[in-house]
Structure 1
Amino acid sequence: MTQTAPPPTSGLDRYFGITQSGSTVSRELRAGLTTFLTMSYILFVNPQVLGNAIHVPNAFVQLLMTTAIAAAFGSFMMGLVAKYPFAQAPGMGLNAFFAFTVVLTMKVPWETALGAVFISGVLFVLLSVIGVRQAIVQSIPSALKFAITGGIGAFLAFLGLKNSGLVVSNPATFVGLGSLLSPPVWLALVGLVVTTGLMARRVTGAILWGILVTTLLGILLHLPVYPGGANGALQAFSGFSGNLLGIFGTPVWPGDLVGKMDLAGALGLGLLHVVFTFFFVDFFDATGTLTGLSQKAGFLDAQGNMPRPRRLFAMDGLAAMFGAFMGTSTTTAYVESASGIGEGGRTGLTAVTVGVLFLLSMFLWPLASAIPAAATAPALILVGALMMEGVKEVDWSDIGESLPAFLTILLMPLTFSIANGVSFGIISYCAIKLLSGQARKVSPILYVIAALLLARYLFLVNE
Structure 2
Amino acid sequence: MKFFNLRANHTDVRTEVLAGFTTFISMSYILFVQPAMLAQAGMDKGAVFTATAAVSIFGTLMMAFIANMPIAISTGMGINSAFVFSVVLQQGYSWQEALSAMLLAGLLYLIVVITPIRDWIINIFPNDLKSAISAGIGLLIATIGLTGSGLIVADPATFTTMGSLTSPQSLLTIAGVLITLALYYYRIPGAIFLGMMVTTILGLVTGLVHAPSQVVSSVPSLKPTFGVAFSHLPSVMNWHILPIVLTFFLVAFFDTTGTILGVQKQMGTDRDTNKSLIASALGNISAAIFGTSPATAFVESNAGVSAGGRTGLTSVVVAILFALSLFFSPLLTMITPQITASALIVVGVLMLGNLKDIDWNNFKIAASAFLIVLGMPLTHSISDGILLGGGVYLVLSALDWIKKQFTK
What TM-score bracket applies, with the shorter chain setting the length? 0.7 to 0.9
User: 1:393-408 maps to which residues of 2 (within 5 A)?
Assistant: 393-408=357-372
TM-score (ref. length: structure 2): 0.77
Aligned in 2, Cα 1:419/1:350: closer, same or farther, shift over 3 Å?
farther
Output the CA distance in 2 between the equivalents of 1:85 and 1:161. Answer: 30
Match of 1:321 in 2: 285
- The whole-number CA distance in structure 1 between the counterparts of 2:313 and 2:147 is 30
Measured in 1, the distance between the counterparts of 2:28 and 2:258 equals 19
Percent identical among aligned pairs is: 26
Query: Aligned pair in 2 of structure 1 residues 132, 185: CA closer, same or farther (>3 Å)?
Result: farther
Counterpart AA for 2:83: L
- Residue 157 of structure 1: aligned partner: 142
Contact kept in structure 2, 1:168 and 1:175, CA below 8 Å? yes
Bigger relative contact order (CA 8 A; separation at least 6) = 2
1:366 is displaced (CA, Å) by 0.7
The one of 86, 89, 92 aligned to 1:101: 92
Q: Which runs of 5+ in 1 are unaligned?
A: 1-8, 52-58, 105-109, 225-235, 441-463
Contact kept in structure 2, 1:412 and 1:420, CA below 8 Å: yes
Match of 1:451 in 2: none
- Provide closer, same or farther for how the CA distance between residues 415 and 287 of structure 1 changes in structure 2, counting only shifts above 3 A: farther
CA-to-aligned-CA distance 1:17-66 (integer Å, 9 cap, x gap): 5859xx86435423322312145222344356354xxxxxxx66556544
What does residue range 192-211 of structure 1 map to in structure 2 within 5 Å?
A: 192-211=177-196
Which letter maps to 1:31?
A: T
Residue 333 in 1 paired to residue 296 in 2? yes
Q: Which amino acid aligns with 1:333?
A: T
Please give the alpha-carbon distance, in whole angstroms, between the structure 2 residues aligned to 1:398 and 1:171. 37
Q: Does 1:42 align with 2:34?
A: yes
1:247 to 1:12, Cα distance in 2 relative to 1, 3 A: farther
- Tell me which amino acid in the other structure corresponds to 2:212: F
Does the CA-based 8 Å contact 1:251-1:363 persist in structure 2? yes
Aligned to 2:176: 191
Structure 1 residue 220: deviation in Å?
2.0
Q: Deviations over 1:46-105 (max 9, x none)?
A: 356354xxxxxxx6655654454344323433455343634323844335636983459x
Distance 2:301 2:340 in 1: 12
CA distance, structure 1, for counterparts of residue 48 and residue 191 of structure 2: 33
Alpha-carbon distance in structure 2 between the residues aligned to 1:309 and 1:10: 21
Q: Is 1:385–2:349 an aligned residue pair?
A: yes
State the secondary structure of the residue aligned to 1:333: strand
1:40 match: secondary structure? helix
Alpha carbons 2:287, 2:295 under 8 Å: kept? no
Name the structure 1 match of 2:245. Answer: 279
Does residue 250 of structure 2 align to residue 250 of structure 1?
no
How many Å apart are 1:240 and its aligned residue? Answer: 2.5
Alignment coverage as a number of residue pairs:
392
Q: Secondary structure of 1:169's partner?
A: strand
Question: Do the aligned partners of residues 415 and 48 (structure 1) sit closer, same or farther apart at CA in structure 2, a change above 3 Å counting?
Answer: closer
Secondary structure of 2:334's aligned partner: coil
Amino acid at match of 1:87: I
Match status 1:436 vs 2:400: yes
Provide the TM-score with structure 1 as the length reference: 0.69
Higher helix share: 2
Consecutive unaligned residues in structure 2, runs of 5 or more? none
What residue is the counterpart of 1:88 in the other structure? 74
What does 1:19-418 align with in structure 2 at a 5 Å threshold? Answer: 25-46=17-38, 49-51=41-43, 61-62=46-47, 64-78=49-63, 80-82=65-67, 83=69, 85-89=71-75, 91-94=80-83, 97=87, 101-103=92-94, 117-222=102-207, 224=208, 236-237=209-210, 239-241=211-213, 246-254=214-222, 258-259=226-227, 262=230, 266=233, 271-273=237-239, 276-294=242-260, 299=265, 308-326=272-290, 328=291, 330-333=293-296, 337-338=298-299, 341=302, 355-418=319-382
Contact 1:72 1:358 in 2 (8 A): yes
Given residue 101 of structure 1, which amino acid in structure 2 is its aligned partner? G
Q: Which residue of 2 aligns with 1:454?
A: none
C-alpha distance in structure 1 between counterparts of 2:281 and 2:293, whole Å: 9
**Offset of residue 125 of structure 1:** 0.9
Cα deviation for residue 430 of structure 1 reads: 2.1
Cα pair 2:25 2:189 within 8 Å, conserved: no
Q: Is the alpha carbon distance of 1:27 and 1:62 closer, same or farther for their aligned partners in structure 2, counting shifts above 3 Å?
A: closer
CA RMSD across the alignment = 4.1
Preserved CA contact (<8 Å) 2:46 2:329? no
1:197 and 1:252 map into 2 onto residues whose CA distance is 34
